[in-house]
Amino acid sequence: MSKQENQIILKTITELLGLHFYIPDYQRGYRWTSHNVSQLLNDIWEYRQDPAKVNSFYCLQPIVVRKKTWVSENGDTVDGYELIDGQQRLTTIHRILTYLRIEHLRIDKFSDEYKEDIYTIEYQTRPETRQFLNQTESNLTKPDLYYLSKAYDTVKDWFENSGKIEGRSDKNNFLDTLLPSVKKDAEGDTIMPEWSTQIIWYEINDNSQKSEELFTRLNRGKIPLNSAELIKAKFVNQESFKEFGEQEKVKRRTQLIQLWDEIENHLNNPKFWAFISNKKMDSYASKIEYLFDIATQKKDSSKDNLYSFIHFFDDKENAESLWEKWLSIEEIYRSLSYWYTHKNYYHKVGYLIAIGTNIMDIIQLKKENDKDLFEQEINRLIAESIPNDWDDLSYDNRNDHKKLIEILLLVNTELTRKNNNNNDFFPFEIYKNINKSLEHIHAQNIIGINENKREQWFSWLDMHLNVLPSITTNTKKAAEIIEQAKTIDREKYTYAQFQDLSASIIEILPKDDEDENLYLHNIKNLALLGLTENISLSNSIFEIKRRKIIEMDKKGAFIPIATKRVFLNYYQKESYAQSSIWTKVERENHLEEIGECLNHYLNKTPVLNEA
């Protein structure tokens, strides 16, 4: 069997007029519901109503076709296309056009006003369906005819009763969007109409692939027709790079495919992926699509799965421009790969990506500046991410939480970056896969404990009673409290009793000489943890948290370096004191280290020449 490259292009629905499609017996019939049909109508009309979308197009999902010749029911030989994937979409468009032909234009066939008649769809095992598609009456006797009848009813109801379409002009606008006037320029290329509905035409020319196997794999998601696969097909189809000549064309395409596979393999490394992206790895079937999303500036809020394919290529691409497009992807990949292996850039760029900085902005800075200036620009971006009032942010203000988390992330990446151990890299792959949470280092109270959940009361009591004898100076009172706790009937215990007992415990705990209200919600009293660890530590005194952190660290839990320093008494320095409390000296030393990490950027922001 010969093996030819598949072809991928965009076609307007107008360009489908006059074509013939064949649905083989391995496919089930038409099954779109009223919801599916209404959604398509709504999407096309919302596109047409948006003035910002003029000179763009509404893009339907790909249809997969292969040239085929068959004998029709009346014995005629038909040259057309086997429709391997896309039956539901093309059939629904046919139903919409049939309504507009009969109820709006009131013509017998589209060729009365267009160059060609509406495309035909012929079913191998359901020959009556072809003629039924051009009719308006209902027939509920067979599954296919039932769904086709309901689809037409939905279309009719949408145009006439939904309130979205008002008068003949709206129907004209919808029809012009669905069947735009197609004009060619002097070179024979299609001129983009102001408004149009287009479909991704994926034509299989590789005869080694059986249609039924392709259909099965497509519908099981084994060949995801995502932006990456469509872009790849566009790069390597028979029309690409033809201006280079046959030998050079083969060379370029081979080089592209080899690097494509290399990039895909590297992007499947969880550590590399977590460095360059804040998205889950399973967000992409083909990870390389993320690079095209970066290049096309796709917003996270975009729900268009084919956004990067639609926006990556220009209307007219020649060999040179197409190759430049590929080199732009190479540049993004090689920049990210270099920064990933360079400890300094890894932490600086990694932090910026983690807080949502546009990667293309960073790539652009690299293109525009030499090495030294680039690092200055990176430092400037980091400085701009630090609020001027960072030391006044408060946990008590929910709006400050994101800023506090980002500052503590920067502190942790800075401490790791400055560590002389070259093999010590901040684990973004762990950090991005946990729910980040702010932990009060000192929290000598029961605020936040649910008064209706006994398990929380007794968890707090058990932890504190366990450490009480070893940390209190009032051992007599501690013994009395412990004995009192032994008599508790946990089934009948009330929240009021828990409040009294917890107050007695708190009263004999070691205390610092500073009013906790002055610093409780300040950054000097906050550390970064994963949410699961935070839940197990909330409302516990410092000593309990310290012991728990050590226990978790022994088990290999992710404890950010700054958090670990807090609970291992790193900030006591020469003024060693009772380790069971978070002292004023430690708080100030902790704040000083945070300030040193931030001031590395705040004090070195370059003054750039505006000229």
Q: Domain locations in the chain?
A: 7-225, 242-341, 402-600
Q: Kindly write down the DSSP assignment for every residue of 417-483, as one continuous string.
A: HT-S-TT----HHHHTTS-EEEEES---S-TT--TT-HHHHHHHHHHHHHHHHHH-S-HHHHHHHHH
CA trace torsion 110, 111, 116, 122 (10° rounding): 60
What's the predicted TM-score (pTM) here?
Answer: 0.77
User: What single-letter DSSP state applies at residue 191?
Assistant: E
**What residue type is 70 in one-letter code?**
W
CA trace torsion 363, 365, 369, 371 (10° rounding): -60
- In terms of Cβ atoms closer than 10 Å to its own Cβ (0-12, 13-18, 19+), residue 501 is buried
- Tokens matching residue 608: 């750039």
Q: What is the pLDDT of residue 456?
A: 85
**Could you report the per-residue pLDDT of 366-388, keeping only the tens digit for each?**
999 999 999 999 999 999 999 99
Work out the number of other CB atoms within 10 angstroms of the CB of residue 364. Answer: 12
CA–CA distance, 339 with 198 (Å, rounded to integer) = 40
Q: Specify whether the CB–CB gap between 155 and 96 falls below 8 A.
A: yes
What is the SS3 assignment for 93?
helix
Q: What is the pLDDT of residue 513?
A: 73
Q: How far apart are the first and last CA of the chain?
A: 64
CA–CA distance, 179 with 15 (Å, rounded to integer) = 9
- Which residues of the chain register pLDDT less than 50? 1-2, 222, 604-611
- Tokens matching residue 247: 């030998």
Q: What is the pLDDT of residue 577?
A: 53
Q: What is the pLDDT of residue 341?
A: 96
Q: Specify whether the CB–CB gap between 178 and 197 falls below 8 A.
A: yes
Q: What is the pLDDT of residue 476?
A: 92
Q: Specify whether the CB–CB gap between 264 and 292 falls below 8 A.
A: no
**What residue type is 465 in one-letter code?**
L
